Amino acid sequence: MSNIISNFIWKYAERCGAQIIQFVVQIILARLLLPSDYGIIGLITVFISISLVFAQSGLGQALVQRKEIDKEEFSTVFYFSMVFSIIIYIILFMCAPLISSFYDEPVLTSVVRVLGITVIIGAVNSVQQAYVQKTMQFKRFFWSTLGGTLVSAVVGIYMAYMGFGVWALVGHQLANQIVNTLILWFTVKWRPMLIFSVSKAKQLFSYGWKLLCSSLIDTIYNNIYSLIIGKFYSSADLGYYNRGKQFPMLIIQNINTAIDSVLFPVMAEAQDEKQRLKSMVRRSIVTSTFFIFPAMAGLAAIAKPLTVILLTEKWLPAVPFIWFCCFTYAFWPVHTANLQAIKALGRSDIFLRLEIVKKLIGVAVLVITIPFGLYTMVWGQCLTTLTSSFINAFPNKRLLGYSYSEQFKDIFPSLALSILILVVTLPIQLLDLNNWVTMIIQILLGVAIYLGMAKILKIECLDYVINTIKKLKQ
């Protein structure tokens, strides 16, 4: 357990370090660039993301899931991913003019072709990440991510300051991927051998293809809103939408990525011990929601003054999207824990079926809400998030004996206190105080209410967190 906590801390430190730097960089870039610049990048996000899913092909997750693995299998996946990613990039390169024509944005042709290089880099990085996850060397992620984030920050800010516009965002993303991958290449001892096993590729792909399809469905669905907003609304509207996701993402990615990376290999090792696996899922859900729920509620409460302070008033149209995204992302750790257990058990078939069902429901809701405007579309996205929580939890009723009532009981204390935070702190904005004063009062009051009530009600997770911190200090 101490090894799990240690790796979680390293992974969390990696995400925190990267996100803090990225947060500062994004504030500077948002002040230097226009919402339409962000909108242009948002237009091609879906195409780059889909290409990355194909390039990574689900085989990295297959490497982590297998209990016994050797260098031959890692090398096989490496060469397969490299060849496949090059093919995908060539297709993306050739389709760039069509994407540009679809959005009627001439600059997209060159942007797609340059940013598409991240597809090849991502294929290499996916195998490196699988090796680090499998061998539980999460300290390596910390240094590679930190290096990539710092270098890309310098590149992005310099290009924005020099007036490169949208190319500053391209340079920022490209530099991050290149430096991250290079640092892992020189710090992780693994190197591909001149070996390729067709039989082992087939074995890995029998598990990985279902995750590939699941990731593909999930990626298309998660980016379909950007696709539609970019097509039917202005690039500035898309910029506000994507900027609205920035603040919630800053919080959720730190915790959720750490849980995702550390929990999966540990669960995979415990796949034959159902009771132990259930205990891991419960602890993950209880602990993550204890932090995520109040963080999302608090962020929703301070969204307006925070936006004005950090991004200036030109970004105020992004505030409603912050509210929507806070609700949507609050449930991500619950999704992650349930889905990781299913993957760890080797049931990628169930994982795929869940993705198909969820996305069919989501697309149906999207189609119904499109005629009613942008905000109604995003409200529909919130609805599908709640529905997905029930769908993701359903298989674990049978696989682990973890029922709906148990899951609701586990998250209810944190959920109830988080709603209380929102109800008490949001009306403070009606006092029409200075933005800084308003935000500070809201934060201090929210923290005091949450921790104070958690102590008074003797919520178990608070004691667990305190005891864990004390053990780590010993």
Statement: residue 108 has pLDDT above 80? yes
Q: Mapping DSSP to helix (H, G, I), strand (E, B) and coil, where does residue 421 land? A: helix
Task: Tell me if 122 sits within 8 A of 56, measured CB to CB.
Answer: yes
At residue 301, the pLDDT reads 94
Whole-angstrom distance, CA of residue 268 vs CA of residue 380: 34
Percent of the chain with pLDDT over 70: 83
Average pLDDT over residues 76-95: 88
Whole-angstrom distance, CA of residue 283 vs CA of residue 270: 15
DSSP 43-66: HHHHHHHHHHHHHHTTHHHHHHH-
Cα dist from 84 to 60, 90, 122, 178, 239, whole Å? 14, 10, 12, 19, 32
Total count of residues recorded for the chain: 474
CA atoms lying within 13 Å on the CB side of residue 332: 23
Q: What angle do CA 8, 302, 45 make, to 5 degrees?
A: 60
Kindly state the tokens that stand for 236: 């500035």
**pLDDT tens for each residue of 246-263:** 888 877 766 666 555 555
User: Could you identify the residue written with the tokens 């209410």?
Assistant: 449
Which one is predicted more confidently, 213 or 439? 439
Residue 21, phi-psi category: left (phi > 0), alpha (psi -120 to 50), beta (remainder)? alpha
Lowest mean pLDDT among 35-49, 208-222, 237-251: 208-222
**pLDDT tens for each residue of 262-308:** 555 555 565 556 777 787 788 888 888 888 899 999 999 999 999 99
Highest mean pLDDT among 260-264, 339-343, 378-382, 447-451: 447-451
CA-based diameter of the chain, in Å? Answer: 68
Whole-angstrom distance, CA of residue 77 vs CA of residue 211: 15
Which one is predicted more confidently, 100 or 279? 100
DSSP annotation of 312: -
Task: Tell me if 316 sits within 8 A of 307, measured CB to CB.
Answer: yes
Containing H/E element for 205? Answer: helix 198-232
At residue 397, the pLDDT reads 85
Task: Tell me if 296 sits within 8 A of 418, measured CB to CB.
Answer: yes
Whole-angstrom distance, CA of residue 355 vs CA of residue 361: 10
Statement: residue 47 has pLDDT above 70? yes
At residue 396, the pLDDT reads 84
Kindly state the tokens that stand for 444: 């201090």
Lowest mean pLDDT among 84-98, 206-220, 347-361, 432-446: 206-220
Which one is predicted more confidently, 408 or 46? 408
Whole-angstrom distance, CA of residue 322 vs CA of residue 304: 9
**pLDDT tens for each residue of 282-291:** 888 888 888 8
Task: Give the E-state strand segments of 72-122 in sequence order.
Answer: none
**pLDDT tens for each residue of 190-200:** 788 888 777 77
Which one is predicted more confidently, 61 or 215? 215
CA atoms lying within 13 Å on the CB side of residue 202: 3
At residue 5, the pLDDT reads 53
21: pLDDT confidence band, cut at 50, 70 and 90? confident
Task: Tell me if 54 sits within 8 A of 203, measured CB to CB.
Answer: no
Kindly state the tokens that stand for 3: 């090894």
Contacts of 334 (CB under 8 A, 6+ apart): 285, 288, 289, 389, 392, 393, 407, 411
Whole-angstrom distance, CA of residue 411 vs CA of residue 386: 13
- Tell me the pTM: 0.70
Which one is predicted more confidently, 318 or 187? 318
**pLDDT tens for each residue of 200-228:** 777 777 766 766 777 777 777 777 888 78
Residue 274: how many other CB atoms lie within 10 Å: 15
Please choose, from the candidates 167, 205, 201, the residue with its C-alpha nearest in 3D space to the C-alpha of residue 41: 167
At residue 2, the pLDDT reads 46
Q: What angle do CA 10, 11, 13 make, to 5 degrees?
A: 65
Per domain, the residue ranges of the chain are: 234-474
Statement: residue 417 has pLDDT above 90? yes
Q: Interhelix angle for 138-161 vs 2-32, to 10°?
A: 0
At residue 81, the pLDDT reads 82
Checking 268-273 for CB contacts under 8 A at 24+ apart, the result is 268/64, 268/65, 268/66, 268/67, 268/343, 268/344, 269/67, 270/344, 271/67, 271/344, 271/345, 271/346
Statement: residue 331 has pLDDT above 90? no
